[in-house]
Structure 1
């Protein structure tokens, strides 16, 4: 089946992103030469010179790690003692959140609000497309759940 493989791929991508955010929280500027360059690459806010606080970076890192775990739960690699419907709802919410951010990121209003380069070009070429794909991945994993598919009449 595709779902177990997709869930692992999503978990790896989200864990790498989480690790980067954690490192940034502790002051690592990879892949930029300094903090200002990094902030312009990953935040993109007009006139930004510093990265967000350690707390903000670690919050994003923890959120990304939680989504990585959710992808493993949806792929049935990890079992959690919660309702199957809660897992399905979390998967659907993750799909909508990621697809929403990805789509929002390519709208002209978003680009006018965050004019810094190189964020704009990185967002157009890499960030938003990847985020949309992550959202699609969560949607596919959610729809592939046996109990969800049965309820929708996709499985007999």
Structure 2
């Protein structure tokens, strides 16, 4: 029951983030007035004036949609023609990716590389903590998978 709730919550968060990135790929500046304000809040590179390309934003959206689907696979809310030996390590990889992004995001080197405001403030209070939550949720979902045989084959 907890796994289903966590799976739906995680998939929803990732799906919404994917939709926002897809909107940006097609030129939306939501929730800001223009490209420069959005880029300063979302990318944070020194002197940035425009959002990344349509392809770059679209690729991030696609990755977020895939991660959203993976959360549903881990929670057993969607069936796939693959076994747990693939689904579980994928969950661990996603956990690692999001946890690393969350932790790196608050390191001084990262902050010096992306100093633009409001990105720096948003990263500290929202982006990095959200990435840590997503990473922990993927880790938890992977550990809650009902079939324990993937653990034996992965670690033994």
Structure 1 unaligned segments of length 5 or more: list them: none
Identify the residue that residue 22 of structure 1 maps to in structure 2.
Answer: 22
* Structure 1: 4+ residue segments shifted above 2 A: 148-152
Identify the residue that residue 46 of structure 2 maps to in structure 1.
Answer: 46
Identify the residue that residue 131 of structure 1 maps to in structure 2.
Answer: 131
Matched position secondary structure for 1:28: coil
Instruction: Provide the C-alpha distance between the structure 2 equivalents of 1:3 and 1:135, rounded to a whole number of angstroms.
Output: 15
Instruction: Provide the C-alpha distance between the structure 1 equivalents of 2:48 and 2:150, rounded to a whole number of angstroms.
Output: 49
Instruction: Provide the C-alpha distance between the structure 2 equivalents of 1:96 and 1:151, rounded to a whole number of angstroms.
Output: 17
How many residues align? The count is 152
Identify the residue that residue 92 of structure 1 maps to in structure 2.
Answer: 92
Q: CA deviation at 1:151?
A: 4.2
Q: CA deviation at 1:150?
A: 8.1
Q: Deviations for 1:37-86, whole angstroms, at most 9, x for unmatched residues?
A: 00000000111000000000000001000000000000000011112111
For normalisation by structure 1, the TM-score amounts to: 0.95
For normalisation by structure 2, the TM-score amounts to: 0.95
Instruction: Provide the C-alpha distance between the structure 2 equivalents of 1:149 and 1:129, rounded to a whole number of angstroms.
Output: 32
Identify the residue that residue 108 of structure 2 maps to in structure 1.
Answer: 108
**1:88–1:148 CA contact under 8 A, matched in 2:** no
CA-based RMSD of the aligned residues comes to 1.2
